[in-house]
Amino acid sequence: MIQFRAVTKSAALAAVIGALTLTACSGDQAGTSGGDTNFVQGTGEITQVAASEREQAPDISGETLQGEQLSLSDYRGDVVVLNVWGSWCAPCRAEAPHLVEVAEETADQGVSFLGINTRDRDRAPAEAFERRFDVPYPSLYDPSGQLILQFPNGSLNPQAIPSTLIIDREGNIAARALKPLSADELRDALQPVLDEE
């Protein structure tokens, strides 16, 4: 039984990495998701969810690129912009200045930004990315995609690189973008969540 679980987890991780490889940074759209979800994925649009229909985000945690321990729950009470990125991803490089701009604009409005760096087998390129774009917020280091696997299937999980989730003050997933975002797109997706009491 233990061997079966290990094989199943390895197979699931391989499937996620394979799917990310097919969709990451290619500009292709993934189409609708399987299972019993009603969410369309990979359309280049931002999906927003009414407060009454949101699912709880998993409390992902781990080590940042700088070697500090961090959990998503550390930000409870703030609106969180969670961005999945890789230093090797051209659309991630294109959107990085926009994320930095909005992070700096909203720093005193109860908004926290957190990255998940994925598929960078070595920290050095990811650290160089953060220096190049002067990223003011931390990123969890997730070279094998284990943190992404913690988001349940059929939810608004980050399934492409780049992906951005907006998590409300209660820790629920309020919006998802499976595309690189402009500053205006991010502001437009963020504002309704900020306006919630």
- pLDDT value for 25: 54
Please report which residue ranges of the chain form alpha helices under DSSP H.
2-23, 90-106, 123-132, 146-149, 183-195
Select the more confidently predicted residue: 126 or 4.
126
| C-alpha to C-alpha distance for 101 and 80, rounded to whole angstroms | 15
Of 85 and 14, the structure prediction assigns the larger pLDDT to 85
- Determine contact, residues 153/119, Cβ cutoff 8 Å: no
Q: What is the pLDDT of residue 4?
A: 40
> Using one digit for the tens of pLDDT, what is the confidence trace for 26-50?
433 333 333 332 322 345 778 999 9
CA distance 191 to 185: 10
pLDDT of residue 36: 33
For 70-95, write each residue's pLDDT tens digit: 999 999 999 999 999 999 999 999 99
